[in-house]
Amino acid sequence: MAAHTAPEGVVGTFSMKVRATGSQNTMSYLNSELDYRDQRNLTVAFNSGVAQQLRERLGSDPLNALNGTDILVRGTAFRVKIVFFCNGRASDNYYYQTQVNVSDADQIVVR
């Protein structure tokens, strides 16, 4: 639905099993597919502040604690264009990813 409504997003509560996790710089990611480039993938993205909130609530690193669990996430799912970089420069290669950006740990509920 996010692809069809782009650039607008789809507001809702999304159910997913966390099959893969990752981080880059200050951002953390929960993915519904093993390959985050899979067009069926839903990525839940959150910054270090939200990661700390989750760490306090879960009692451990959220990427480890949530991997393999079923979650609900409230928010807006957007289609995001991800550009590949080569030697620090944007290339002509890209893919689209559906992301829900989380600004508060309460948006994520473990089922």
Nearest Cα residue to 98 out of 48, 27, 25, 45: 45
Question: Per the domain annotation, does 109 fall within a domain?
Answer: no
Question: Per the domain annotation, does 57 fall within a domain?
Answer: yes
> Cβ-count burial of 16 within 10 angstroms (0-12 exposed, 13-18 middle, 19+ buried)?
buried
pLDDT at 5 over 80: no
**Which structural domain, as residue segments, surrounds residue 53?**
2-103
Band of the pLDDT at 1, cuts 50, 70, 90?
A: confident
* pLDDT tens track for 25-77: 999 999 999 999 998 999 999 999 999 999 999 999 999 999 999 999 999 99
Joined together, the tokens standing for residue 23 give: 């981080």
Band of the pLDDT at 8, cuts 50, 70, 90?
A: confident
Decide: pTM greater than 0.85.
yes
Exposure letters 30-41 (e unless 16+ CB within 10 A, then b): bbbbeebeeeeb
Question: Per the domain annotation, does 78 fall within a domain?
Answer: yes
Token look-up 């559906």 returns: 98
How many domains, the chain?
Answer: 1
Domain CATH for 33 = 2.40.50
